[in-house]
Amino acid sequence: MKYVKQFLIIICISFLGEVIHHFIPLPIPASIYGMVLLFVLLEVGLIRPEHIRETCNFLIQAMPIMFIPPGVGLLEKWGYIDDIWLPLIVALAVSTVVVMAISGWVTQFVNRRFGAGKKEEEA
């Protein structure tokens, strides 16, 4: 029953993201609204991490399975991408490296900006 309650909390927040997306039709996916809403609720303490921890861990563990359908879809549409596979691979490789580099820089910035002060205060 605990998992049903946790999953229901996550689904309700996701539904609220859909509702927000309906009323604020920006070119932002509804799932992003839901994630931001979940973040805000966690930050203000209306939802505590232990309210959703086990279900979130399960969903993270099941995440690799979610990549199978898009992979099969790519194989089914190979005829459409057969002519452009090389530029597609180059674009994917370059964008992956760019995203990794920017994520690393942002992480280092946040650690320097906020993490270093906490370490000094604890010492």
Residues 36 and 56 occupy one common structural domain: yes
Residues 82 and 62 occupy one common structural domain: no
Residues 4 and 62 occupy one common structural domain: yes
Q: How confident is the model at residue 108 (pLDDT cuts 50, 70, 90)?
A: very high
pTM, two decimals, is 0.62
Residues 116 and 65 occupy one common structural domain: no
Q: Are the C-beta atoms of 12 and 60 separated by less than 8 Å?
A: no
Whether 118 shows a pLDDT value over 70: the answer reads no
Residues 92 and 60 occupy one common structural domain: no
Residues 107 and 87 occupy one common structural domain: yes
Q: Tell which of 38, 53, 69 closes a domain.
A: 69
Residues 64 and 89 occupy one common structural domain: no
pLDDT confidence of residue 74:
83
Residues 48 and 81 occupy one common structural domain: no
Domain count, the chain: 2
Residues 91 and 46 occupy one common structural domain: no
pLDDT confidence of residue 1:
86
Residues 1 and 59 occupy one common structural domain: yes
Q: What is the DSSP string of 55-118?
A: HHHHHHHHGGGGGHHHHHHHHHTHHHHSTTHHHHHHHHHHHHHHHHHHHHHHHHHHIIIIIHHH
> Averaged over 8-26, what is the pLDDT?
94
Q: How confident is the model at residue 115 (pLDDT cuts 50, 70, 90)?
A: confident
Residues 5 and 54 occupy one common structural domain: yes
pLDDT in tens, 45-101: 999 999 999 999 999 999 999 889 988 988 888 888 888 889 989 999 999 999 999
> Averaged over 26-47, what is the pLDDT?
93
Q: How confident is the model at residue 119 (pLDDT cuts 50, 70, 90)?
A: low
- Residue 112 structural domain: 77-123
